[in-house]
Structure 1
Amino acid sequence: MNPLPSLWGADSPSRLLGSRHIATGELVFPALPGHSPLADQYQVESLAGEGELYSFTIIHPSAKSGINPFALGYLDLEGPVRLFGRLTGGERPLIGGRYRIVADADYGYVFEALEVRP
């Protein structure tokens, strides 16, 4: 038996799963596992599939690594909840830009820009 809950829900398009505290309404990510002592205080729900970029940084790995620079950022979703993840695409990220959460085989999920900037 897998002790960790899935990151993704079964709805289509698939959404990340979080847990909302029943008494306070606070939304957390990832969803609490069912065996957690706190599980009865939370209900699992799907997170919004899109959000606004709050902040980002560009990572410049060593040239010896052969890895190209990439961006990591925080995405604000309704709930409210803030997620950290990798941003995809060749353009420089834009704070306040709209991003969609998509599944990724290497990282679990990534943020993909929705708006094309001139």
Structure 2
Amino acid sequence: MNPLPSLWGSDSPWRLLGSRHIASGELVFPPLSSHSPLAAQYRTEPLAAEGSLYSFTIIHPSPKSGLVPFALGYLDLEGPVRLFGRISGSERPVIGGAYRVLPDETYGYVFESVEASQ
């Protein structure tokens, strides 16, 4: 049995899971493990699939690494909850832009511009 919670809902494969505190309504990510001493105080629920980019930075790896520059950013979702992750695509990210959360085998999840995918 895996004590670590899954990041993705089984009935909604494009929605990350979070935990909502029953008494206060606070939403947290990642979801609490069922083995946590606090688990009885939270319920697991899917997070919003899209949000607004709060901030980002462009990472320029050393040329010796062979890696191309990439963007990391904070995405604000309803809840409220703020996620940190990699931004996919080659376009420069836009603060305040609409981004969706997608699964990624390497990073667990990435953010993709809603406009770039249309």
TM-score w.r.t. the length of structure 2 is 0.96
* Pair 1:66-2:66 in alignment: yes
Note if contact 2:55-2:75 (Cα within 8 Å) is conserved in structure 1.
yes
Gap change, CA 1:102 and 1:79, over 3 Å in 2: same
1:83-108 Cα shifts (integer Å, max 9, x gaps): 00000011100000000000000000
- In structure 1, runs of 5+ residues without a counterpart are none
- In structure 2, runs of 5+ residues without a counterpart are none
Partner of 1:47: 47
SS state of the match for residue 40, structure 2? helix
Q: Distance in 1 between matches of 2:107 and 2:76?
A: 19
SS state of the match for residue 54, structure 1? strand
Q: Distance in 1 between matches of 2:29 and 2:53?
A: 17
Q: Distance in 2 between matches of 1:26 and 1:8?
A: 19
SS state of the match for residue 40, structure 1? helix
1:28-49 Cα shifts (integer Å, max 9, x gaps): 0010000100000000000000
Q: How much has 1:3 moved relative to structure 2?
A: 1.3
1:51-99 Cα shifts (integer Å, max 9, x gaps): 0000000000000000000000000000000000000011100000000
The number of aligned residues is: 116
Q: Distance in 2 between matches of 1:54 and 1:34?
A: 31
Q: How much has 1:13 moved relative to structure 2?
A: 4.5
Q: Distance in 2 between matches of 1:73 and 1:13?
A: 22
SS state of the match for residue 76, structure 1? strand
* Structure 1 moving runs of 4+ over 6 Å: none
* Pair 1:93-2:93 in alignment: yes
